[in-house]
Amino acid sequence: MKEQILTTSGIRMSWRDEFLTWNRSFYGETTKISAPLSEIWNPDVHLINYADRSNIFEDKDTLVNIYSTGLVEWHNFIELKTYCFVDTTQYPFETEICKLHFSAQYLDEKEQLLKIQLQDDYFNQFQSNGEWHISKPDKIRTYTEIRNSNSKRFAGVVLEIEMERRQTYYVWKFLVPTVAITCINMVTFLLPVKSGAKVTLSTFVVLSFTVMIQLFNQSLPSSSDKISQFGRLLWCLLGMSGLSLIFNVVITAIFYRKCTICKINCSVCNFAKLIKNFQDKPRNTTCCCKSKEDEQITELKYIRTQEKETVQQGSSMENKSMFSLNAQFREVTITIVLTLITRLSATMARCLPIISLKRVSINGK
């Protein structure tokens, strides 16, 4: 089916020949004989949409069964290759219809009529392969038609087969990887710029979609005329991944101040700043970038603030140490004073009874 060719094997055909009848009672009740196909008349039947050969009676050495009623049966296992129109719009999830068109080329409808009939168990005789299958018996249809050619009407029959492509293989080969790569492409915008993986992951996504498109194109039928919707989806996803790669590159460049546009804006702003210095009336203008002088001033301010903070921290440490020394001195002084007071009070308590005794002895005298 990749080259739009359907191969079928096995065909059974029967017709009635009035010149091949006999009375079986005259020939010992013989009702059937076998004869080579080359010794009898062959019907005018050709395959119209053939890919290999049109005449199905090329092998004249095959045998046919001839009955006394004039019925002739021919059964041969031959390969018939026919062209099929493959519509790849829904590929790889499409349904294809192939036809086997048999018609006469020399005998018109008055001389020869064609009919097609399927057996009762015809659906069970079909064997599906790994890529195509026939889901229901009504997917096989037959009908007759009349073909006009050279002012003659020729009878024809058509066998129409509707086949569905098996989708499991293509789901795991194309659909699941496509969804996974698309999710990875969305995750690139969630990564921080400092990680350094935004551009790398976006490049990986672009290359993955490129390989996916190449594999998908290789699996397409080579003679297909229409574009697959899934192929268009892959190309759209490739374009979106390319845009995401560009956005991530721009974001990374802006983050690291390596964008050319930013440098141009800086030069324009610096030029405007020089012009403002020569004007009499200064205006309130803002610059998107800083010049080298501004950066040096900013660095000096930063150094000075760091020095002030260091001095403040040092002074605060000195104040803390002085406060702690004063507190210790106060505690020692208070302890000494309290000790002296306790000692004085003890000596005073000892001296009071001696004084009272002296006073009593003086009065007694």
Residue-wise pLDDT tens digits, 50-108:
777 667 777 778 888 999 888 998 888 777 788 777 778 888 888 888 888 888 888 88
Residue type, 183: C
Specify the pLDDT at position 13. Answer: 85
What's the gap between Cα 311 and its chain centre?
A: 62
Specify the pLDDT at position 211. Answer: 93
Three-state DSSP string of 53-103: CCECCCCCCCEEEEECEEEEEEEEEEEEEEECCCCCCCCCCCEEEEEEEEE
Specify the pLDDT at position 363. Answer: 43
With a CB cutoff of 8 Å and minimum separation 6, the contacts of 107 are 44, 154
Count CB-CB contacts under 10 A for residue 251: 15
Of residues 140 and 156, the one with the higher pLDDT is: 156
Task: Map residue 48 onto helix, strand or coil.
Answer: coil
Distance in angstroms (rounded) separating the CA atoms of residues 318 and 324: 10
Q: pLDDT-based confidence at 328, cuts 50/70/90?
A: low
Count CB-CB contacts under 10 A for residue 114: 20
Q: Is 325 left (phi over 0), alpha (psi -120 to 50) or beta?
A: alpha
pTM: predicted TM-score of the whole model, two decimal places: 0.56
Specify the pLDDT at position 178. Answer: 92
pLDDT higher than 60, residue 357: no
Specify the pLDDT at position 284. Answer: 47
Q: 181 near 208, Cβ under 8 Å?
A: yes
With a CB cutoff of 8 Å and minimum separation 6, the contacts of 185 are 202, 205, 237, 240, 241, 244
**Which of these ranges, 42-51, 333-342, 356-365, has the smallest mean pLDDT?**
356-365
Of residues 343 and 227, the one with the higher pLDDT is: 227
Handedness of CA 268, 273, 276, 277 (dihedral sign): negative
pLDDT higher than 90, residue 239: yes
With a CB cutoff of 8 Å and minimum separation 6, the contacts of 343 are none
Distance in angstroms (rounded) separating the CA atoms of residues 240 and 237: 5
Q: 42 near 19, Cβ under 8 Å?
A: no
| Mean pLDDT for the stretch of residues 228-238 | 91
166-190, pLDDT tens digit by residue? 888 888 989 999 999 999 988 888 8
Distance in angstroms (rounded) separating the CA atoms of residues 90 and 227: 9
pLDDT higher than 60, residue 280: no
Distance in angstroms (rounded) separating the CA atoms of residues 324 and 269: 55
Distance in angstroms (rounded) separating the CA atoms of residues 95 and 273: 70
Specify the pLDDT at position 102. Answer: 85
Q: Which of 220, 222, 187, 224 is closest to 202 using CA atoms?
A: 187
Mean pLDDT estimate for the chain: 75
Most confident of 20-29, 90-99, 237-246: 237-246
Q: pLDDT-based confidence at 273, cuts 50/70/90?
A: low
Distance in angstroms (rounded) separating the CA atoms of residues 184 and 205: 7
